[in-house]
Chains A and B, each alone.
Chain A
Amino acid sequence: MGSPQVKIRLPQDTANSYEWNAFVRYSIDVLDTIDGASKYGEINEGEVFLEIEFIPIENAEELVEKVLKDRLKKAKKETEHMGLALMKNSTCFGCHADKATHTGPSFSEIADRYENTSTHIVSLSNSILEGSKGLWGNTEMPSNPDLTVSETEQISKFILEQGAKKNNWIIPGLEGTFRIIEKPKNIEQGFYILTASYTSTSKMRGQDSILLNIR
Chain B
Amino acid sequence: MKNINRRIFIRNTLYSGLSASIMPSQLMANDTATHSETILENKSRTFRKKRVIVAGAGISGLCCAYELMKKGHEVVVLEASGRLGGAVLSVHDGLADGLYADFGAENFTQPGYENYWRYLKEFNLTVLPYFHRKNRLTRIDGVWLTDEAQKAAYNQKVKDLGGFNSKEKEFLLANPSYDLSFLYLEPYFDTFKNEYQPFGIGFDHLENIPISEIYKQDGASKAAIATLGGSKTSALYAIWQAYIMHLRGYDKPFKLFRLKGGNQVLTNEFGRRLGSRVRLDCQVLEIVNGETGVIVKYKEFGETKEISADYMACCLRTTALKKIPIKPTLSPKKQFVIDNLAYDQTTRIVFQARSKFWLKDKLSINLTYNHPALTHIWQVADEVATERVSLMAKAPGGTNPLRTLEAFKEFYPGNKSNIDIEQVLVKDWSSDQFVHGCERHGFGDLGELSKFWPHTTTPHGRIHFAGAYADNRSWGMEAATNSAIRVALEIEKA
Query: What is the interface of chain A, defined by CB distance below 8 A to chain B?
Result: 9-14, 21, 23-25, 27, 39, 45, 91-92, 94-95, 100-103, 131, 138-143, 145-146, 175-177
- Known contacts A103-B342, A142-B397; A177/B28 CB under 8 A: no
**A-B contact number at CB 8 A:** 82
Assuming A94-B345, A142-B396, A177-B324, is B29 touching A13 (CB within 8 A)? Answer: yes
Q: Kindly identify which residue among B304, B342, B395, B433 contacts A142, using a CB–CB cutoff of 8 Å.
A: B395
Contacts of B325 in A (CB 8 A): 23-25, 177
A31 to chain B, nearest CB (A): 14
Which residue of the partner chain B has the closest CB to A9?
Answer: B30
Interface residues of B (CB under 8 A from A): 28-31, 285-286, 302, 304, 319, 322-326, 329, 339-340, 342-345, 372-373, 395-400, 403, 428, 430-431, 433, 436-437, 441
Cβ-defined contact, B323 with A12, below 8 A: no
Q: Are the CB atoms of B30 and A94 closer together than 8 Å?
A: no
Tell me how far the C-beta of A108 lies from the nearest C-beta in chain B, rounded to whole angstroms: 14
Contact A94 B428 (CB under 8 A): yes
CB–CB B304/A11 < 8 A: yes
| Additional A-B contacts beyond A94-B428, A131-B396 (7; CB < 8 A) | A11-B30, A11-B304, A25-B286, A94-B431, A100-B322, A139-B342, A143-B372
Pair B398/A142 contact, Cβ less than 8 Å: yes
Query: How many Å lie between the Cα of A21 and that of B4 in the bound state?
Result: 14
B476 to chain A, nearest CB (A): 17
Do residues B398 and A95 form an inter-chain contact, with CB atoms below 8 A?
Answer: yes
Whether the pair A12, B431 counts as a contact (CB closer than 8 A) is: no
Pick from B29, B31, B304, B398: contact of A94, CB below 8 A: B398
Q: Chain A residue with minimal CB distance to B396?
A: A142
Q: In the complex the two chains form, is A103's CB within 8 Å of B430's CB?
A: yes
A11 partner, pick from B31, B319, B343, B396, beta carbons under 8 A:
B31
Q: Which listed residue (A131, A145, A176) contacts B323, Cβ 8 A?
A: A176
Cα A98 to Cα B325 in complex, Å, equals 20
A–B pairs, 6, beta carbons within 8 Å: A21-B329, A23-B326, A91-B430, A92-B398, A103-B343, A142-B395
| Bound Cα distance A193, B99 (Å) | 53
Q: How near does chain A come to B376, taking the closest CB pair, in angstroms?
A: 14
Contact A95 B30 (CB under 8 A): no
A139 and B29 form a contact (CB under 8 A): no
With A11-B304, A143-B372 in contact, is A177–B403 under 8 Å at CB?
no
For A27, list chain B residues within 8 Å (CB): 30
Give chain B residues whose Cβ lies under 8 Å from the Cβ of A24.
Answer: 325
Check A143 against B345 for contact (C-beta < 8 Å): no
CA separation between A16 and B476, bound complex, in Å? 41
Closest partner residue, chain A, to B345 (CB atom): A103
Check if B29 sits within 8 Å of A14, measured CB to CB. yes
Contact at B29–A140, with CB atoms within 8 Å? no
Q: Which residue of A lies closest to B31 (CB)?
A: A11
CB B430 to nearest CB in A, in angstroms, measures 4
- Kindly state the separation between the CA atoms of A10 and B437 in the bound complex, as whole angstroms: 28
Note all chain B residues with C-beta closer than 8 A to A91.
Answer: 397-398, 428, 430-431
Q: How near does chain B come to A100, taking the closest CB pair, in angstroms?
A: 7
Q: Which residue of A lies closest to B321 (CB)?
A: A177
Q: What is the distance, in angstroms, from B182's C-beta to the closest C-beta of chain A?
A: 23
Set of chain A residues within 8 Å of B342, measured between Cβ atoms: 101-103, 139
A145 touches B403 (CB 8 A): yes
Tell me, in angstroms, the Cα distance from A14 to B26 when the chains sit together: 11
- Return B103 CB to nearest CB of chain A, in Å: 16
Which of A10, A14, A138, A139 is in CB contact (< 8 Å) with B345? A139
**Looking at the complex, which one of B329, B339, B400 makes contact with A146 (CB distance below 8 Å)?**
B400
> Which residues of the partner chain A approach B31 to less than 8 Å between Cβ atoms?
11
Q: Nearest Cβ in chain B — how far from A34, in angstroms?
A: 21
- Asked if B437 and A103 sit within 8 Å, CB to CB, the answer is yes
For A146, the chain B residues whose CB sits under 8 A away are 400
Given contacts A12-B28, A142-B399, contact A39 B345 (CB under 8 A): no
User: In the bound complex, do residue A100 and residue B339 qualify as a contact, i.e. CB atoms below 8 Å apart?
Assistant: yes
**CA gap between A141 and B430 in the complex, in Å:** 11
Count chain A CB atoms within 10 A of each CB in B285, B286, B323 and give the residue with the most.
B323
Question: Roughly how many angstroms separate A92 CA and B345 CA in the complex, as a whole number?
Answer: 12
Q: Nearest chain-A residue to B319 (Cβ)? A: A102
Q: Which residues of B contact A102 (CB under 8 A)?
A: 319, 342
Tell me whether B323 and A139 are in contact (CB under 8 A): no
Q: Which of A24, A45, A102 has the most CB of B within 10 A?
A: A102
CA distance A89 to B322 in the complex (A): 24
Neighbouring A residues of B345 by C-beta, 8 Å: 94-95, 103, 139
When C-beta atoms are compared, the residue in chain B nearest to A144 turns out to be B398
- Return B303 CB to nearest CB of chain A, in Å: 11
Which of A25, A27, A141, A142 has the most chain B CB atoms closer than 10 A to its own CB?
A: A142
Chain B positions within 8 Å of A138 at CB level: 441
Question: Which residues on B sit within 8 Å (CB–CB) of A103?
Answer: 342-343, 345, 397, 430, 437
A142 contacts across to B, CB distance below 8 A: 372-373, 395-399
Report yes or no: A9 in contact with B29, Cβ–Cβ below 8 A.
yes
Supposing A13-B29, A131-B372, A145-B403 touch, asked if A25 and B302 sit within 8 A by C-beta, the answer is no
How far, in angstroms, from A174 to B310 measured CA to CA in the complex?
31
Assembly CA distance A25 to B403 (angstroms): 39
B28-A11 in contact (CB<8A) = yes
Contacts of B436 in A (CB 8 A): 94
